[in-house]
A = this chain, B = another copy of it.
Amino acid sequence: MALSAPTSYSSTDAEVRFQLPAGTQSGQPAGITGTRLVSGPGAGIDLIELCSGLLKVWIVPTRGMGIWRAELNGIPVEWKSPVRQLVHPKLVNLQARNGLGWLDGFSELVCRCGLAFNGPPETDSGAKSPIESEVTLHGRIANIPAHSVEARIEGDLLVCEGRIAESTLFGPQLELKTRVELPLGGTAFEVVDEVTNLGSGATELELLYHINVGRPFLDEGAKVAIPHRQVVPRDPRAAEGIDSYPTYLGPTAGYAEQAYFYEPIADAGGRTIALLRNAAGDRGFSVEFSPAELPRFITWKCTQPEADGYVTGLEPATNLPNPKSFERQQGRVISLPSGQTYRSSFRIRIDDTANGVREVESRIAAIQGSIAPTIHRTPQKGWSPSGG
């Protein structure tokens, strides 16, 4: 399946670049396409489309190498954010809205939260200096344009790489190198991230993957599953729904978000898998990852009306999305030594058949095995500020 004449997209190319389909796999021509948006709030955004022949994945270098959306045989893999356009980071003021300005640009399928901090805005009393103490919602990485972006075909893999510098003088110097791999003919893609501390001293790292999905994977009666030892409601609001924590409502007027924090279980190979499947069980969206790299997992239930963004988040993370000062107290903020790299990866798989969904469910059941998860009915000490 390897192609004889790999071609590539590079950020040093001219302004609007594209590549002819690199081969024909099935259904549609496989290949890589680069585009630059020219108007609206997204003007200047670069988009790279990888198409396996079956699965298309759109990467947004300009928004921190986030993944805007995907599409499998015409099935949209996305959510409908009230932020209806891709918004260029230049128009997103993270400080605005009392530190919640990040919400003004949030519309992706995969959006990284970090790197120096994530979680809600606060003044971090444990920060080294005023350069680091101002914490805005979910951090800076999703709103920094990538550099050294390149997409190419390696054997039978479509690959897109880029680097993002979250760096300042007298402050953290974190560089994210990310690589997206989509096999030709594949219906799953892998994201491999390496965050390196380029500074001379240790620096802090928080990384959460805000992976957001709506219809047709989310609907009334949809379910989320992940092998887990414990699950904890974040706050009293989440505690209200603890009896139905793995199932979803349809779009519900007046619904306020609920978040659940999981301790995942890994298989013998160190991997685990989270699945969102629709009520009918014929649409599945799954995220596979290694709890050794990403020891926390969060479900964000946000089944508000369609117009407001009917969505759920499946979120593997190094920490819980609490205030950074709280996470530091719990020992969940990584201290990354000078020159060291923190590696994390995840794999997103899309299923459009009941058989495919059952296969993932079987795998989850096998990892869960006979372990009965502890379901905490109230917020727990050390898990969130609500837990005391």
Contact = CB atoms under 8 A, between A and B. Distances in A.
A171 B103 contact: yes
Interface stretch (A140-148, A222-230, A316-324): A140-148
A131 B98 contact: yes
A376 to B, nearest CB: 26
A5 interface: no
A197 to B, nearest CB: 9
B91 A93 contact: no
A200 B40 contact: no
Contact of A40 (B88, B95, B104, B148): B148
B167 A100 contact: no
Given A14-B38, A43-B145, A91-B145, A173 B130 contact: no
A12 B39 contact: yes
B147 A85 contact: yes
Nearest to A62: B43
A39 B145 contact: yes
Given A41-B165, A44-B43, A307-B199, A94 B95 contact: no
A387 B95 CA distance: 34
B61 A39 contact: yes
A211 interface: no
Interface string A128-170: 0011111010000000111111000000000000000101111
Contacts of A103: 131, 168-171
Given A38-B11, A41-B147, A90 B93 contact: no
State the 9 A-B residue pairs at the shortest beta-carbon distance, nearest first.
A40-B147, A200-B305, A11-B39, A90-B90, A98-B130, A200-B307, A103-B169, A82-B173, A104-B168
A34 to B, nearest CB: 10
* Interface size bracket, A side: 35 or more
A381 interface: no
A359 to B, nearest CB: 33
A81 interface: yes
Contacts of A91: 89-90, 144-145
Contacts of A89: 91
Contacts of A13: 38
A42 B147 CA distance: 9
Contact of A307 (B40, B90, B98, B338): B338
B44 A44 contact: yes
Contacts of A44: 43-44
A280 interface: no
A168 B83 CA distance: 6
Contacts of A85: 147, 165
Contact of A90 (B88, B198, B200): B88
Contact of A83 (B146, B147, B167): B167
A240 interface: no
